[in-house]
Amino acid sequence: MKRPWTLVALVTVGLSLVQAQPSTSVLFVGNSFTFGFGSPVRFYRPDTVTDLNNEVIGGVPSLFKSFADQAGLPYDVALETRGGAGFEFHLDNKLGVIGRRPWDKVVMQGQSMLDLEKPGDSSKLVATSKQLADFLRSRNPKTELFLNATWSRADQTYPQKGAWFGKSIEVMARDVRVGNDKAAAAAAIKAVIPVGEAWTRAMQTGVADPNPYDGIEAGKLDLWTYDHYHASTAGYYLEALVIFGSLTGRDPRSLGENECSGYELGLDRTQVRALQQVAFDELAAASSVKPAPLVLPKPVNPERCRAR
């Protein structure tokens, strides 16, 4: 007769330990590619994260937070963003905000062309990444730092005025990754998050269309929004999946096709499943995650998602 009560007690203790687990603080420092310009992601669940600039932004940080919550991972997420800015802006204007507390992990996202005035030149990114990394480590020497290497911009690749005109869409993502690799090496940053390469993989595998200027092929996603520059909902969703896998080591597919944020943002299950697979494949290629695709949540319904 005592065994059932013993089992209940053990379960209760186990749940208490999970609930008592301290949260990991994560700060996102970036620009419009982080806060989700051009899509509903910009104002998605802003109450779940802390916008240090008080602009009521959810953005990619809120997607990451949603994924973490659904995976049962306690993360305290904040963001400090400014449209069009490189790290020099944050260094000149926002250190007082960023430095209010030490951070366990920081996702740093620089200018989408490496340098707005000298597209493709990583010199400024290398210098400012180190300065920002040094400041963050002055607040917490053990902080884990990540650089987010973003996607190819169609507006810089296909039109004649583009800085990458005449080159394939894959080249810009590769150039941005190389620049971020240089910055990561100079600043002893833990890892570069391969968001741009995940976008390239989505195009190469037929999940996404590579050229929005000639129309979107049936059955494929447009990862860019209307300006062919920023991301669409699908593009930011893929970005958040890659960040989630990079920071947690979790297989993005473990969120399942019934993942709540995809449902709330209007992606169907086929699209969610395809984007999770692309994110996993890119992360697995870099040995950043191990396969664990079978931990599926309950089927989507509004009540379950609202109850989070």
Whether residue 231 is contained in a domain is answered as yes
In the prediction, which pLDDT does 305 show?
76
Domain residues for 206?
Answer: 24-306
Beta-carbon neighbour count of residue 270 at 10 Å? 10
Given phi > 0 = left and psi -120 to 50 = alpha, else beta, which region is 234? alpha
**Whole-number Å distance between alpha carbons of 103 and 142:** 9
Check which CATH number belongs to the domain holding 220 and give it.
3.40.50.1110
Whether residue 7 is contained in a domain is answered as no
**Whole-number Å distance between alpha carbons of 52 and 112:** 22
Strands 50-51 and 24-30: unpaired
Whether residue 223 is contained in a domain is answered as yes
Q: What is the DSSP letter of 180?
A: H
Number of structural domains (the chain) is 1
pLDDT digits 0-9 by tens, 138-160? 999 999 999 999 999 999 999 99
Whether residue 193 is contained in a domain is answered as yes
Residue 16 pLDDT more than 70? no
Residue 2 pLDDT more than 60? no
**Whole-number Å distance between alpha carbons of 149 and 89:** 18
Whether residue 214 is contained in a domain is answered as yes
pLDDT band per the 50, 70, 90 thresholds, residue 109 = very high
In the prediction, which pLDDT does 296 show?
52
In the prediction, which pLDDT does 286 show?
87
Whether residue 10 is contained in a domain is answered as no
pLDDT digits 0-9 by tens, 51-84? 999 999 999 999 999 999 999 999 999 999 999 9
Least confident of 8-22, 190-204, 224-238: 8-22
Whether residue 93 is contained in a domain is answered as yes
In the prediction, which pLDDT does 4 show?
45
Q: Which residues of 95-125 are buried (b: 16+ CB within 10 A; e: fewer)?
A: beebeeeebbbbbbbbbbbbbeeebbebebb
The pTM of the whole model exceeds 0.85: yes
pLDDT band per the 50, 70, 90 thresholds, residue 304 = low
pLDDT digits 0-9 by tens, 250-275? 999 999 999 999 999 999 999 999 99
Contact partners, residue 60, CB within 8 Å, separation at least 6: 28, 34, 35, 36, 41, 236, 239, 240, 243
**Whole-number Å distance between alpha carbons of 230 and 154:** 9
Percent of all residues in the chain with a pLDDT value above 70, rounded to a whole number: 88
Whether residue 147 is contained in a domain is answered as yes
